């Protein structure tokens, strides 16, 4: 029996995923490839919301933020996510996909403020909703924002898109013997301190019984397979 496709999904997309092989910024061919995959699932009727990070431009805990007030650095990181969100919206426009950006920080000359009922209406109208600026609060990561927005939007699953194809017992780049988990519980992830997402995000999704699938955005067709409920990456469950 084939797996059932998820109808409403929250995709957490890291800023680093937009870099491709570049050392910083946005790689054009990478963002085009990603938006092609996004457009293909949207055309199948999937309601898709995206939370995007800003680590390719700036983040509060980056080396460049040393000596800077953490809250100030985090606000700068939030603005970096707005830049990424606008770039993603523009790339989706070229794929003929209607997308709206909503920001937790009020920058109304550039993007809409986050309004939950409006975001829900956009999803029901088959528009992609891109959430920028995290939660709007310092000290909270965009992973936590993904868990929060996923719960608020009534998503069936949070898809965490990374450069690694799942959660491993150790860093696969350092330990060739590291094994990938196909499925793992929230409690196990937290107890073993497997830091693919922060503990606050894991705890929030666990409490809301909102599963997370961690997969590689660099694998062709991986987003489609994750949405279709196939054995792609690692499923984190209650």
**Strands 234-237, 212-216: pairing kind:** antiparallel
15 marked ligand binding residue: yes
172 belongs to an annotated ligand binding site = no
What pLDDT digit, counting tens, does each position of 106-151 carry?
A: 999 999 999 999 999 999 999 999 999 999 999 999 999 999 999 9
Q: Give yes or no for residue 186 having a pLDDT over 50.
A: yes
Q: Is 181 annotated as a binding residue?
A: no
Residues 6+ apart with CB under 8 A from 103: 82, 85, 110, 111, 112, 113, 114, 131, 132, 133
What pLDDT does residue 17 have?
85
- Is residue 126 annotated as involved in ligand binding? no
Domains of the chain: 8-158+221-230 (3.40.1160.10)
Mean pLDDT in residue range 166-193: 90
Confirm or deny that 55 is annotated as ligand binding: yes
168 is in an annotated binding site: yes
20 is in an annotated binding site: no
- Has 141 been labeled as part of a binding site? yes
**pTM for the structure as a whole:** 0.93
30 is in an annotated binding site: no
Token pair recorded at residue 183: 């499925």
Per-residue pLDDT for 83 more than 70?
yes
* 186 annotated ligand binder: no
Q: What sign for the dihedral angle of Cα 165, 171, 176, 179?
A: negative
Question: 140 a known binding residue?
Answer: yes
Each residue's pLDDT tens digit, 1-40: 456 789 999 999 988 888 888 878 888 999 999 999 999 9
Q: Is 14 annotated as a binding residue?
A: yes
12-21, 163-172, 189-198, 211-220: range with highest mean pLDDT: 211-220
**Does residue 84 have a known ligand-binding role?**
no
């Amino acid at each position: 029996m084939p797996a059932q496709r998820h109808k409403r999904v929250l995709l957490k997309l890291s800023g680093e995923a937009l870099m491709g092989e570049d050392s910083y910024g946005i790689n054009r061919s990478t963002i085009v490839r990603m938006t092609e995959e996004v457009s293909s699932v949207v055309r199948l009727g999937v309601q898709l919301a995206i939370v995007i990070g800003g680590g390719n431009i700036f983040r509060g805990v980056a080396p460049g933020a040393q000596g800077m007030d953490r809250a100030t650095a985090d606000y700068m990181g939030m603005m970096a996510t707005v830049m990424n969100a606008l770039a993603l919206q523009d790339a989706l426009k070229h794929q003929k996909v209607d997308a709206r950006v909503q920001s937790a920080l009020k920058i109304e000359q550039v993007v809409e403020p986050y309004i939950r009922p409006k975001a829900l209406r956009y999803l029901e109208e088959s528009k992609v909703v891109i959430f920028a600026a995290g939660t709007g609060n310092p000290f909270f990561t965009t992973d936590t924002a993904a868990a929060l927005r996923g719960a608020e939007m009534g998503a069936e699953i949070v898809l965490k898109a990374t450069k690694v194809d799942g959660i491993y017992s150790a860093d696969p780049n350092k330990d060739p013997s590291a094994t990938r988990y196909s499925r793992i519980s929230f409690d196990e992830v937290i107890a073993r301190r497997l830091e693919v997402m922060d503990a606050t995000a894991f705890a929030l999704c666990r409490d809301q019984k909102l599963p997370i699938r961690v997969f590689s955005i660099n694998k062709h067709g991986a987003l489609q397979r994750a949405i279709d409920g196939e054995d792609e990456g690692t499923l984190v469950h209650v």
